[in-house]
Amino acid sequence: MLKKRTPLLKSLDPPLEVALEITKLVKFSPKRNVLFDKIKARLNSEGDSISAVGIRSFCPTRWLVKGASIGSILENYSVLKLLWEESWRGAYLQISREG
């Protein structure tokens, strides 16, 4: 029975890998985690209704945790987009200073 369902589960690998990388971007970097919180607070003070839930940890082997993690990514999409832009800009400036 499991062998019949395996191809269907394989099609979920790319989106789950993206969710895992997004979670790593925020959770495994204290600097980005603080920046995430600051961006979220700034957007809330500007009147945008941002979810109170932060980015939840991603567990590759637990389906219920995966759902909660993906849901938190979707709820915080605008914050994550700004976080990515600011992180990229910071990395670009650091490289240009070194080079």
Number of other CB atoms surrounding residue 23 within 10 Å: 19
Per-residue confidence (pLDDT) for residue 53, from 0 to 100 = 77
Give this prediction's pTM.
0.71
- Interval 27-81: pLDDT, tens: 888 999 999 999 999 888 887 777 677 888 877 677 667 788 888 899 999 999 9
pLDDT given for residue 3 in this prediction: 43
